Amino acid sequence: MPEVTSNVEFAHRIHEHGHTASAASAHGRAQWVEIVEAVVLAIVAVVTAWSGYQAAKWDALSAQHYNLSSRAAIASQERATLAGQDRLYDITTFNGWVAATMAGNKKLSAFYERRFRPEYGTAFIAWQKLDPVNNPLAPPGPIFMAEYKNANAQESSKRGEEAESSFEKAVSMRETGDQYVKVTVLLATVLFLTALSQRFEIFGPRVVVGATAFVLLVTATLWMLTFPRA
């Protein structure tokens, strides 16, 4: 009987030792998981703050370029209106010159010539050299000459290009800001999964959920590194 009792006690002690070692091992694994979760939470906090900061800056830059686009578009329209008035003035004075010339009134013709805008006067001289009276191939008037320039029309075109360029930049910047917002949403998912993993007392599911959160964090971080920074 003493030998049997001794064997039973020995087996019981081995079982208790194995259980204690298993519990210690599980506790050690749980501590490592908690450390990893804490690191993930810290990284998520920093990356989320950076992503939100970039999203806000890109939105501000986008709004600024939308404003520049609007201002340039208004300036373009103003210049286009002035260009139309210049063109109307050129046509009116030219018609007066033609009428005076056809009537043989040289004094009135000279008067109209003096009233030509400098830009128009250059085209008028080039047009006269073509002998339009005897040359059927000559343009019907100076405004159809290559030499005809309209500063307001040119400025309107320039401002229009600036407005289009600023608008395209604004759209691109808004899209970049939206990409940072998407990263922020993905990081919120990481936070949710990390908090969810901490609710599991079973080691396996906790590791699976935590690993998923970590993979999403790495994906979001690498994705964000490819974005331009404001």
pLDDT in tens, 101-119: 999 999 999 999 999 998 8
The total number of structural domains in the chain stands at 1
Q: Is residue 131 part of a domain?
A: yes
> Whole-model pTM?
0.70
Q: Is residue 94 part of a domain?
A: yes
**pLDDT above 90 (res 40):** no
Q: Is residue 13 part of a domain?
A: no
pLDDT band at residue 30 using 50, 70 and 90 as cut-offs: low
pLDDT of res. 27 = 53
Query: What's the rounded Cα separation, in Å, for the pair 230 and 228?
Result: 7
Q: Is residue 24 part of a domain?
A: no
Q: Is residue 220 part of a domain?
A: yes
As a whole number, mean pLDDT of residues 181-189 equals 89
Q: Is residue 144 part of a domain?
A: yes
Q: Is residue 206 part of a domain?
A: yes
Q: Is residue 27 part of a domain?
A: no
Domain that holds residue 190: 34-225
Tokens coding 170: 């604004």
